[in-house]
Amino acid sequence: MTKLRLGLVGTQFIGNLYLHSLRQVAEAEVVAVASPNTAADFAARHEIVAHYADWREMLAQVELDGLLVATPNDTHHAITLAAAELGVHVMCEKPLTLSLREANEMVAACARAGTVLMYAENLVFVPMYQRVKHLAGTGSIGKPFLVKQAQCHGGPYSPWFWDVDRAGGGVLLDMGCHSIHSICWTIGAWPEAVTATMGRYAHAEKGRGEDHATVLLHFADGALGIAENSWAMPGGNDYLEVYGPQGRLTANLERGPAISMYRAPGEETALDPTTRSGWHYPMYEEAWQFGFPQELQHFVDVIKGREALKSSGEDGRRVLEFICAAYESARTGRRVGLPFASNAAKPIDHWFGAVE
């Protein structure tokens, strides 16, 4: 069996998650990794042959079939264009990039090169979510009129998320892209308008980005989507709910499928939540429950011509458009129609009122 030779750019949370998940993908292996400061240690830990401080050197020196882009948002555009120029397929983390101009260039470059541009939306590969979508589509609860998705926690894991020049926005761009995409995927349609509200409630001292956002997605048939995203909710939420006139479907990624665990008060370790007292619900094979091995397997299957792309660069571009419109709605206090044209350098510029 010939394995696809993958390169990985980025060695932090997502990069580690990809390496863990690829253990379940037999037809691919990471043969090279790039990161400015930690590539050597990462490569040694994961037994990767080649490592580079600069992703440009990696692309120039290693023959690759595909590239996994798990880097800060402001780097996605340049890395994808360079990979497309070499005929390398790309799976790019969310959000696709910082502006609609850059998104258009990424999609066009990969189309010209005949390469795959996969938008890494793991929620469409979550087994529980796939089951909810199937049940909703069978009419088991009647025609859905409301879909809600929430991703909320107490704040991001890396300092660069607070820098809007690098991140392009706050929690809406970080996690709202998950919520918006999964709602549209569940309904099977794109919205015709958005209404949004957002603010800085818990972390105003850390950056200019919003730490809580609620976005209403208005669909042509009258259905409504509600995307709730927060960096201001310690304890958090992570669920998908679908409401129909005959019932309701809920997939709660916090609680299930999970192990119920109770720990009596005692010595606690801040970095290990399972040492804290009280009730906890640790998942078994968390990466699988969140769809990451399935996402990577799909990337391999698309490259090998076995499946049609389920989460495309065009999808990522649309989600970015909706987010730009949501920032504009939050600034103006009005419903914003779609499609929405934006020449903003980054989505949050609409909220700042810095777009001509």
DSSP states of 55-100 as a string? HHHHHHHS--SEEEE-S-GGGHHHHHHHHHHTT-EEEEESS--SSH
Smallest CA-to-CA distance from 313 within 84, 110, 15, 101 is with 110
Q: What is the mean pLDDT of residues 152-179?
A: 96
272 confidence band (pLDDT: 50, 70, 90) = low
The pLDDT value given to residue 356: 80
Report pLDDT digits (tens) over 176-200.
Answer: 999 999 999 999 999 999 999 999 9
Asked if residue 55 has pLDDT above 80, the reply is: yes
Alpha-carbon gap, residue 303 to 307, rounded angstroms: 8
| Sign of the CA dihedral with 60 first, then 61, 63, and 67 last | negative
Smallest CA-to-CA distance from 115 within 27, 29, 4 is with 4
What would be the CATH architecture of the domain defined by 126-239+316-352?
2-Layer Sandwich (3.30)
Higher pLDDT, 254 or 273: 254
274 confidence band (pLDDT: 50, 70, 90) = low
Token representation of residue 203: 């972390």
Alpha-carbon gap, residue 330 to 348, rounded angstroms: 10
The pLDDT value given to residue 269: 57
**What is the model's pTM?**
0.94
On the question of a common fold for 4-123+292-312 and 126-239+316-352, the answer reads no
The pLDDT value given to residue 263: 79
Domain ranges of the chain: 4-123+292-312, 126-239+316-352
Q: What is the mean pLDDT of residues 310-336?
A: 98
Q: What is the mean pLDDT of residues 160-188?
A: 98
Mode of pairing for the β-strands spanning 117-120 and 89-93 = parallel
What would be the CATH architecture of the domain defined by 4-123+292-312?
3-Layer(aba) Sandwich (3.40)
